Amino acid sequence: MNTEIAEKVTGLFPALCEKELLEDISRNGKLMEVSANTVLVEIGSYVKVIPLVIKGTIKVLREDDDGNELFLYFLNPGQGCAMTLNCCMANKPSAIRAIAEDDSELLAIPVDYMDKWMKQYQGWKNFVLQTYSDRFEELLHTIDSIAFMQMDERLVKYLKNKAAATKTRVFKITHQQIAYDLNSSREVISRLLKQLEKLGRIKLGRNHIELISLV
DNA sequence: ACATTAAGTGATT
DNA sequence: AATCACTTAATGT
């Protein structure tokens, strides 16, 4: 029994605290460290492990037919990837790409245990359902923001989101990358960022953005 | 000093 | 809000 894993899971995933489940997890899960920008799940790939986030931030994004990307959401410690759960159970290729936003630590659970644990452990089942539920809600918000919100609001939301996920107010990022994430164009992002700077809500520099007051 | 890349701008759709 | 064509500024070699 790997106590390191057990401790981390108890701390971050209270839903998974059943004794036998905890033992099962610590026996079969593998801790892995990934550095920033590592691609964890590629679109079209078949996923064989379920990652639970222990430390860091994972960015989940979608891509359209032309290869334009669209940022969906961040995964933080204490969360698992709903898409992965989904794909694993249905044995379908991934519809999303997941990349490490920061240096992160994951607990990888082999998919083979999915079925068994779903039946065997109430806590695991609850965790899976909760994960689905959380993401579903999140996705609805994302849809709202694409369908109904203006770019400026989406940008502010994106910045806030990123700040919350990475727990920092200064990020190293280019306007172009934000444009990719939001499926917009660099000029539009630059102009909107400029406005925010004029309002004193952020501070701009080459390759970095500092958040001042994003209410 | 020069090339490269990020960011700013005005005009057009 | 996106795209184009161009300028300006910062950075690496």
> Taking 90 as the threshold, does the pLDDT of residue A207 lie above it?
yes
Smallest CA–C1' separation from A191, nucleotide: B8
Res. A171: pLDDT tops 70: yes
Any strand B atom closer than 7 Å to A28 CB: no
> What is the pLDDT, as a whole number, of residue A144?
80
Which pLDDT does position A1 carry in this prediction?
64
Please, which residues bridge with residue A104 across strands?
Answer: A34
Confidence class for position A92, pLDDT limits 50, 70, 90: confident
Round to whole Å and give the CA distance between A149 and A56.
29
* Nearest CA-CA partner of A214 in A156, A149, A131, A146: A156
Q: Write out pLDDT tens, residues A122-146.
A: 999 999 999 999 988 888 888 888 8
Kindly report the pTM of this predicted structure: 0.80
Nucleotides of C under 7 A from a protein CB: 1-5, 10-11
Please tell me which residue lies nearest to nucleotide C9, judged from CA to C1': A206
Task: From the CA of A206 to the C1' of C12: give the distance in Å.
Answer: 14
Q: What tokens does A61 get?
A: 């994004």
Can you tell me which residue has its alpha carbon closest to the C1' of nucleotide C4?
A187
| Residue found by looking up tokens 């609001």 in the block | A153
* Separation in Å: C4 C1' and A188 CA: 13
Number of neighbouring beta carbons within 10 Å of residue A175: 22
Nucleotides of B under 7 A from a protein CB: 6-11
Dihedrals phi, psi of A55, to nearest 5 degrees: -150, 145
**Using the CA of A179, which nucleotide's C1' is the nearest one?**
C2
Is the confidence at residue A209, as pLDDT, over 90? yes
Predicted local distance difference test score (pLDDT) of residue A28: 92
Q: In this structure, is the CB of residue A175 within 7 Å of any atom belonging to strand B?
A: yes
Which nucleotide across the nucleic acid strands is nearest to A205, CA versus C1'?
Answer: B7
Sign of CA dihedral A90, A57, A160, A97: negative
